[in-house]
Every structure is written in structure tokens, then in C-alpha cells.
Amino acid sequence: HVQLVESGGGSVQAGGSLRLSCAASGYTFSSVCMAWFRQAPGKEREGVAVINSHDDGPRYADSVKGRFTISKDNVKLTLYLQMNSLQPEDTATYYCAAGPSAGCGSLDPTYFPAWGQGTQVTVS
């Protein structure tokens, strides 16, 4: 049974930073594709960043490129999202997701069958 639990959300002023964490269990963490998504009220879920099982070539949405960094620790079984230079438009609920390693690189939410419950990020 796959479990993903996000933490690290909160409220921050524009220009500030936050680091989100996603603790994973129930599968072989190092061999899957993992990603961060976000959803603001009234908007569709948006892919933010994705990282493959080899930790190479992460992909980012254009809106966060240069500000956000996705990484993972295969020993701690944890996915991270370091968010710098946060802006009000980054306000959303952030979700981590896990999917098959084959074809990893998509920011399409339908590619990912496993999801966490989300953590709220508010930038003012």
C-alpha cells in the first residue's frame, strides 16, 4: 500500500522560501518516478516538477524554473521541493505523486496513480 505524506507548507511573504517534504512508504522508493503538483482554488492541478529514478534530468514547469528545485533522498525515502523567491501566484495546495519509472518526465497528473493528501502554501 503506497503512502505519501507531505509536510512543510505554511505562510510566507513574497520573496521568501519554503521546503516541502514528502515521506514515502509501501513501495521501492528509488525505482519510481516522483513529482510535485499544485492546485489553486478554481484552477486545474498543475505539474510543478518531476524527477526520475536515476535523479537525473529533472523537469520543471516554466513558471517555477530557476526558483524551485526537486530532489530526493533514497535513504530517507523522502522527496523534497525547495521553493525560493516565492510569489503570490505560487499560493496553492501542493501534492507529491508517484508513478511508473517507464516514461518518467511527464507533468501530466494522469500519469501518476499515487498521491499525498497535500500541504498548503500561502504567499502574501
Residue-wise pLDDT tens digits, 40-80: 999 999 999 999 877 778 999 999 999 999 999 988 999 99
Q: Over 90: is that where the pLDDT of 106 sits?
A: no
- Relative to beta strand 33-39, strand 59-60 is unpaired
The 8-class DSSP code of residue 46 comes to E
- Return the pLDDT at 26: 81
In this prediction, residue 28 carries a pLDDT of 78
How are beta strands 119-123 and 10-12 bridged, if at all? parallel
Q: How many CB atoms lie within 10 A of CB 9?
A: 18
Residue 25 CA to residue 7 CA, distance in Å, equals 15
Sign of CA dihedral 95, 96, 102, 106: positive
Span 24-29, average pLDDT: 82
Here the cell at position 25 is: 512508504
pLDDT grade for 29, boundaries at 50, 70 and 90: confident
Cα separation, 89 vs 72, whole angstroms: 25
Residue 8: the pLDDT is 98
